[in-house]
Amino acid sequence: MPRESAAEPTEPTVSAVRPASALPPGRPAEQLLAELRDLRAADAPTRGGRTFAYVYDAGLPDLDELTEAAYGVFATVNGLDPTVFPSVARLENDVVGAVSAILGVPGAQGSFTSGGTESILLAVKAARGHARSARGVTRPQLVLPSTAHAAFHKAAHYLGLEPVVVPVDPLTFRADAPAVANAITERTALVVASAPSYAHGVLDPVAEIAAAAEARGVLCHVDACIGGWFLPFLARVGLPIEPFGLSVPGVTSISVDLHKYGYAHKGASVVLYRDAELRRHQYFAYAGWPGYPVVNPTVQGTKSGGLLAQAWAVLHHLGHDGYTALARRVALAADQLLPGLRSLDGIRVLGDPAGSLIAFTVHSSAGTPDLGLVLHLADEMRERGWYLQPQLSCDGLPPNLHLTLTPATSDRVEPLLADLAEALTAARACEPVIVDPALVELGATLDPDTLTPEDVAGFLAFAGLDGAGGLPTRTAPVLALLDALPPRLKERMLTEFVGSLFRI
């Protein structure tokens, strides 16, 4: 092998096809670190409270030092085998125990995972295994309010379950508990409620949904990925928060991301089950090969001990008091932002946000949600240095902008509102976004599975997404086009687009 690869560089095709991936003879560390820092310049800022999605900034500069140092201590440890690295089991039990102390019940057991998606995949896998062994379900279904996170659809896709989607209440954006109850069948492996939902930040009626599931002998997962480490601390500040943890009758598992309001670095989440017997279905064990006997509690095999160590450190450093103070700061930001938003002409906050996530739409002069205005507003805000997350329309739910509030955003509400008012005026003055009706018509006839690479390339070029000239600075025309496409075509186009970003 070494011989062959040594000969390869002389072949002109190798260097011509893959110039960027050729490994250099070696470069000094300083230079590489400088390059990494330079690369960050074009990114959205992750600290400072101007990026209202993807990042969770506690606004405490010392925290990054702690997480980085804690990661460093455990960076070389392999979490694959807690018998060789017992420290991993100790740290994981501490972290899962801390989550269980707030959201669990006596006897609850869980795992530390790489994120919300993995926690959800595992909860669905456990439910599938449980439904098969306890109830003989061989063609399992997953009952999901339409606002359940896309990760459940991913889990259904990976694990072979059929998603059964139940529309939410179009005014409150909360799951419709009676409709969810009606969707439960003999084949249902798991019913889901969100605390709160990502899209609109509203709390589903967890107790009602869990009771309906329990009455049918079906498991119920509460997706508290984003609210699980925030709402309990809001409750400590004295705000009325409906219970949503495992102590609610019928709730059998829950996911809680520590890399969101736990303020750990990314790669930190917990999935918790009411007992070890349920968690058993999450594990994978294999002793039928000649290598070491495998027991993988989670998706990964080899895994860094560093992510666990940094999550453990931040959790214990902030503690109850730290998290309570941070939750209070977020709540204050929301208290200031919500009336400010509502006072802006044409802005409508969606539903009754449970605390830290706010979605709002923008109305046209006719008084209806206007996709073009929503998207122009996002672009105008981006030009003013703020990232607000556009969410497209979906089954009658309006397009909107989504804000994740963090402690770091709490000092920024006034400038944010001032810029929003200005950006709104600018958005209204923009050319209306008009999607070519011929293109929409064409989209309705295209079969996403049989499109040729040329069809796709043509479509992307038309949308300005072919990479020529880099990413578009104004996203409104592109997103408006996407919004008008049927979901599966939208998925195909987005897949091609993202694939085009990762091209070597």
Ligand X SMILES: *Cc1c(COP(=O)(O)O)cnc(C)c1O
Q: How far is the CB of 489 from ligand X (least distance, A)?
A: 24
Is the bond into 196 cis (omega within 30 degrees of 0)?
yes
Residue number, 114 or 188, with CB nearest to ligand X: 114
The residue within the footprint of ligand X, chosen from 55, 95, 177, 226 (CB under 6 A), is 226
Pick the binder of ligand X from 51, 113, 117, 310 (CB under 6 A): 117
String marking each residue 301-320 x if it binds ligand X according to CB under 6 A? --------------------
- In the block, which residue shows the tokens 């969707």? 183
From the list 109-117, 213-221, 287-295, 425-433, the region that binds ligand X by CB under 6 A is 109-117
Q: Report CA dihedral (223, 224, 226, 227) to the nearest 10 degrees.
A: 140
248 Cβ contact list (under 8 Å, min separation 6): 206, 207, 210, 222
173 near ligand X, judged by CB under 6 A: no
223 binds ligand X (CB under 6 A): yes
E-only strand ranges, 146-276: 162-166, 188-194, 219-223, 253-257, 269-273
Q: Is 483 exposed, middle or buried, given 0-12, 13-18 or 19+ CB atoms closer than 10 A?
A: buried
Beta bridge partners of 286: 294
Q: By Cβ distance, which residue is nearest to ligand X? A: 116
Q: Which is nearer to ligand X, 269 or 475 (CB)?
A: 269
Residue whose CB is less far from ligand X, 194 or 253: 194
Q: Which of residues 230-269 bind ligand X (CB under 6 A)?
A: 257, 269
Among 67, 109, 194, 406, binds ligand X (CB under 6 A): 194
CA–CA distance, 6 with 25 (Å, rounded to integer) = 13
Of 405, 407, 404, 376, nearest to 389 by C-alpha is: 404
| Piece in contact with ligand X (CB under 6 A), picked from 115-123, 157-165, 294-302, 329-337 | 115-123
Counting residues that bind ligand X (by CB under 6 A) gives 13
Closer to ligand X by Cβ: residue 153 or 363: 153
Q: Binding to ligand X by residue 225, rule CB under 6 A?
A: yes
Chain centroid to CA 477: 25
Nearest CA-CA partner of 254 in 277, 236, 227: 227
Task: State yes or no: residue 151 binds ligand X (CB under 6 A).
Answer: yes
**Judged by CB under 6 A, which stretch of 111-119, 243-251, 285-293, 477-485 contacts ligand X?**
111-119
SS3 423: helix
Q: What residues line the site for ligand X (CB under 6 A)?
A: 115-117, 120, 149, 151, 194, 198, 223, 225-226, 257, 269
